[in-house]
Amino acid sequence: MNKETLIQKIKEKKELSGLDDSVILEVLEKAVSQSKVNLQTAKKAEIKDLIKKSRAELRKFSGRFTSSFEERLSLLKENKIQELIKTHSSTRERLDFYPTLNNLIKNLRIKSILDLGCGLNPIAIAFENPRIEYYPCDINNNDLKIVKEFFKKENISGKVFFYDLRKKDQKLPKVDLCLIMKVFDVVEQQGHKLAERIINSVNAKYFLISFSTKTLSGKPMNHPQRGWIERLLSRLGYNFQIINHKNEIFYLASKTKESVSL
81-254: what fold? Answer: Rossmann fold (3.40.50)
List per-residue pLDDT tens for the chain, 262 residues long: 788 899 999 988 866 877 768 778 888 988 998 888 888 888 889 999 999 999 988 776 554 444 467 889 999 999 999 999 998 888 888 999 999 999 999 999 999 999 999 989 999 999 999 999 999 998 778 889 999 999 999 999 999 998 888 777 689 999 999 999 998 987 776 678 899 999 999 999 999 999 988 866 667 777 777 889 999 999 999 999 999 988 899 999 998 866 665 5
Give the predicted TM-score (pTM) of the model: 0.75
CA distance 245 to 243: 7
Nearest to 210 by CA among 189, 241, 231: 241
Would you call 80 helix, strand, or coil by DSSP?
coil
Return the DSSP state at 45.
H
Q: Are 128 and 98 in contact (CB under 8 A)?
A: yes
Locate the domains of the chain by residue range.
Answer: 3-62, 81-254
| pLDDT 10s digits, 131-157 | 999 999 987 788 899 999 999 999 999
